[in-house]
Structure 1
Amino acid sequence: MSIRILLATAAVIALPGAALAQTTPSMSSTITLGFSSTSLDALGTGIDLTTTSLDVDSDISFGPSVNVGLDFGLSMTEIDTPLPIGIDADLMSFGFEPSYHFANGAYIGAYYRMGDLDISVSLLPITLGVDTQQSGIFAGYESGPLWVEVFYGTSDTDPGIGGIDITDYGLAASYDVMPNLEIFGSYTRTNIDFGGGDIDLSLYAIGADYDFGNGLSLYGSVGRLDVGLPLPISIDATQISLGLAYDLAQAGGGFPGVVALEVSSTNMDLGPITADATSVGLSLTIPLGNNASTTPLNSHSQVARGAYRSAISGGLAALR
């Protein structure tokens, strides 16, 4: 894949979104083009990851009660190691979420998400691929400044691993403390049952977003991943992220876009091994439609917003 594929895909998705946003059924879309550079240090060895990404989050409304959410993601990561080996990891994802909303602010729905991960190594003549699927149900409530949602589902892989069951569940919430300050948080639990034992992954995060009112906004989050193994080994990771965004519409010209710069630091405790990662990311977010968001979809604070319904995928997103 190349940057031309990212731009072409953005155009294919954005044009229908811009057209449908003016008709019935109504549609709004948020598009984020991102670039990030991550430096990972473990045992005195440095590994650099460079990622170019495209994320699209769309919502189609069929009247006041029925909504369909469509998500699309595409990322290309180049991994640079001290060894003379070239490693590329390409990930494409798609999500489908129909929901029914009641007049009192409550809603119920179902979700399906698939991922296609391809890893190519310069010394190997083949590309290694893993497909993932997540499906389940969710329910929530939204009224005024408060939003809360819970979910339950399962995950699977292809090629599959016999005798293993993966269950996901969790909750997310947000609250507008004041018109320009939002706080949000999430908790996600993934249980991997392989017959003779199980592995539990707990991912929890909290974040905030403050709008200064002049086009500038400051946002950030703190998250932690705990991995429970049937072994006397402790594995966990803690990440702190901070971002600054600017609404280009405030500069005049009427361009509907938000640019953001985000820095994050991750500390990983892998039993007898510790590792540290520092990431710097840039993004351009384009909202289309009345209900589109200006929040960068590639931000690490998306974990705290409950964007991931799996502790595995949410934990891996920390290295994006």
Structure 2
Amino acid sequence: MAQDFSGGLTFGLARSNISDVDVDLTGLSLDGRLAYNIGSGVTVGARFNTFSLDVSDADLDLNGNLIGLNVSYAISDAFSAGVFYEHGEVGADVSGTSLSAIASSNTYGIEGSYTTGALKLGAFVSVSDTGGLIGAALASADLDVRSFGLSASYSPNSQLTVGGSAIRTTFDIGAINQDFDVDYIGLAGVYDINDTFTVFGGLSRTSQNDLDLDVTTIGLGVAYDLTAMAGMPMSVSLELARTTPDLGGSDIDVDTVRLGLSIPLGTKTTKAPLNSTADAILNPSHNAITQTVLNF
């Protein structure tokens, strides 16, 4: 069974500082990705990303999660196609009062991939429905949410993987007969220096032109293999990241230090820790908004 099972888990701890307002955030996260080949070309996969943020000097906690399921079929050695579902949710705890779903979404779609040699290309289209408090507020807006995305990765050898992803999510508001696009693009790379050390990095940007809004994230990190010391496959990672939201020329910086403890599952594992900017870019979600939150 292990030959057909792959994936990994990353337990994360993060500390962030927001410039100019002297606010610190302490976060815990758990990220996982699993895939199982059940035979006859059919693979079943799942992913989950969950986080909790504590805001310093305020009785406020933020939390969120993303859960995804997918089924794919290998049409040939090169082509595969499938369907997927994702549920994303953001909530808060304010002064002991829980707001379990400030915003939520359910995303459904189809995806496909093409592999030739060291190059893998992917594409998807999806639709989403919104929920939570924001979804309730928009109930009369006749809102349709559509997304499409492209991804590519190139692994010329077992040490190096580079790739990128791009997503456009369109919010079509029927009540005012107008639509708004949110565009995401990211580039990332992972390189095994030797059997012990791995370096990884990524750069992404999310844009909304009508609001003159850009959110840029850059992350650089290193991972160290603990297998020899721990007696089981395991690695520890450290990443430094900066996220800069820019609204109409006015920006702030959110500087983050991330620690991660990663445990591979099965025979094929992810190269970068699952709580890293690089992994979010190389293994994107199916919506520009949820993808931006993952990069953060």
TM-score, structure 1 length as denominator?
Answer: 0.84
Instruction: Report the Cα offset of residue 126 of structure 1.
Output: 4.5
Instruction: Report the Cα offset of residue 127 of structure 1.
Output: 2.4
User: Corresponding residue for 1:287?
Assistant: 264
User: Corresponding residue for 1:30?
Assistant: 8
Question: Given that residues 285 and 295 in structure 1 are in contact (C-alpha distance below 8 angstroms), is that contact kept between their aligned partners in structure 2?
Answer: no
1:151-170 matches, cutoff 5 A: 151-159=124-132, 160=135, 161-162=138-139, 163-170=142-149
Letter in 2 for 1:38: S
User: Corresponding residue for 1:189?
Assistant: 168
Identity rate of aligned residues, in percent? Answer: 30
1:58-69 matches, cutoff 5 A: 58-69=34-45
Question: Given that residues 272 and 278 in structure 2 are in contact (C-alpha distance below 8 angstroms), is that contact kept between their aligned partners in structure 1?
Answer: no
Letter in 2 for 1:31: L
User: Corresponding residue for 1:270?
Assistant: 247
Letter in 2 for 1:58: L
User: Corresponding residue for 1:178?
Assistant: 157
User: Corresponding residue for 2:82?
Assistant: 109
Instruction: Report the Cα offset of residue 105 of structure 1.
Output: 1.5
Instruction: Report the Cα offset of residue 146 of structure 1.
Output: 1.1
Question: Given that residues 7 and 32 in structure 2 are in contact (C-alpha distance below 8 angstroms), is that contact kept between their aligned partners in structure 1?
Answer: yes
Instruction: Report the Cα offset of residue 239 of structure 1.
Output: 1.7
Q: Deviation digits for residues 18-40 of structure 1, max 9, x if unmatched?
A: xx537xxx322311111111112
Q: State which of 212, 215, 221 in structure 2 corresponds to 1:237.
A: 215
Question: Given that residues 286 and 294 in structure 1 are in contact (C-alpha distance below 8 angstroms), is that contact kept between their aligned partners in structure 2?
Answer: no
Letter in 1 for 2:99: T
Q: Deviation digits for residues 179-225 of structure 1, max 9, x if unmatched?
A: 32211111111111113222211110111111112310111011111
User: Corresponding residue for 1:217?
Assistant: 198
List alignment gaps of at least 5 residues for structure 2: none
After the TM superposition, which parts of structure 1 deviate over 6 Å for at least 4 consecutive aligned residues? none
Q: Distance in 2 between matches of 1:227 and 1:261?
A: 31
The total of aligned residue pairs comes to: 287
Instruction: Report the Cα offset of residue 254 of structure 1.
Output: 3.0
Q: Distance in 2 between matches of 1:60 and 1:214?
A: 26
Instruction: Give the match's secondary structure for 1:308.
Output: coil
Question: Given that residues 285 and 294 in structure 1 are in contact (C-alpha distance below 8 angstroms), is that contact kept between their aligned partners in structure 2?
Answer: no
User: Corresponding residue for 2:99?
Assistant: 127
Letter in 2 for 1:61: N
Q: Deviation digits for residues 106-162 of structure 1, max 9, x if unmatched?
A: 00011101123321111x744242332111110111233111100000122224323
Q: Distance in 1 between matches of 2:98 and 2:287?
A: 29
User: Corresponding residue for 1:51?
Assistant: 27
Question: Given that residues 237 and 259 in structure 2 are in contact (C-alpha distance below 8 angstroms), is that contact kept between their aligned partners in structure 1?
Answer: yes
Cα RMSD after superposing both structures = 1.9
Letter in 2 for 1:165: D
TM-score, structure 2 length as denominator?
Answer: 0.90
List alignment gaps of at least 5 residues for structure 1: 1-19
Instruction: Report the Cα offset of residue 227 of structure 1.
Output: 0.8
Q: Distance in 2 between matches of 1:266 and 1:293?
A: 24
Instruction: Give the match's secondary structure for 2:292.
Output: helix
Instruction: Report the Cα offset of residue 269 of structure 1.
Output: 1.1
Q: State which of 46, 50, 68 in structure 2 corresponds to 1:70.
A: 46
Instruction: Give the match's secondary structure for 1:309.
Output: coil
Question: Given that residues 17 and 24 in structure 2 are in contact (C-alpha distance below 8 angstroms), is that contact kept between their aligned partners in structure 1?
Answer: yes
Give the 3 Å change call, closer, same or farther, for CA 96–126 of structure 1 in structure 2: closer
Question: Given that residues 203 and 277 in structure 2 are in contact (C-alpha distance below 8 angstroms), is that contact kept between their aligned partners in structure 1?
Answer: no
Q: Distance in 1 between matches of 2:106 and 2:125?
A: 14
Q: Distance in 1 between matches of 2:276 and 2:196?
A: 18
User: Corresponding residue for 2:224?
Assistant: 246
Instruction: Report the Cα offset of residue 253 of structure 1.
Output: 4.9
